Amino acid sequence: MRTITEIIVHCTATPRSRSVSAAEVDRWHRQRGFSQIGYHYLIRLDGTVETGRPESATGAHCLGHNAHSIGVAYAGGIEPDGTPADTRTAAQKASLIRLLTVLVSRYPGAIIRGHRDFAPKACPSFDATAEYALLCGGVKQPPDIER
């Protein structure tokens, strides 16, 4: 089993209200040369959680962090004009909390972070590290984090 130290939250960078499935993201990622969807979970607009890669498999979602992380994405993250925005529906927010709570209990000590904490992008279009800090015992982002 892999040692999981991070749970990394992403968005699909699709416009608000655009329905996106794990099967669709899987097609996008295969077109980019991935063997399958890079995320372990995708949360649809209605809050449905779809499984992507098995948790036992290394993800393809955050360069330099895939070996020790679980990738969770929600459908959305941008306005129709392409501007980054927190487009999560109430159902997505509730499902994210439930899923992240399960993952943190499954991987004690894992810290929840946003993709933007590791890459120069807006993803997931909100501060996941701050929003979910209490789910991992109030652990804050370390000061030496790569940006």
> Which one is catalytic: 11, 115, 132, 136?
115
Annotated catalytic, 121? yes
> Which one is catalytic: 11, 39, 62, 107?
39
> Which one is catalytic: 10, 29, 40, 65?
10
Q: Which tokens hold the place of 103?
A: 């993952």
Q: What is the dihedral of CA 15, 19, 20, 23, to 10 degrees?
A: -160
**Distance from C-alpha of 145 to C-alpha of 113, rounded to nearest angstrom:** 10
**Distance from C-alpha of 138 to C-alpha of 134, rounded to nearest angstrom:** 4
> Which one is catalytic: 62, 74, 107, 123?
123
Annotated catalytic, 39? yes
The answer for residues whose C-beta is within 8 angstroms of residue 51's C-beta and 6 or more apart is 22, 40, 41
Does an H or E element contain 14, and which? strand 14-15
Q: Which residues are catalytic?
A: 10, 39, 115, 121, 123
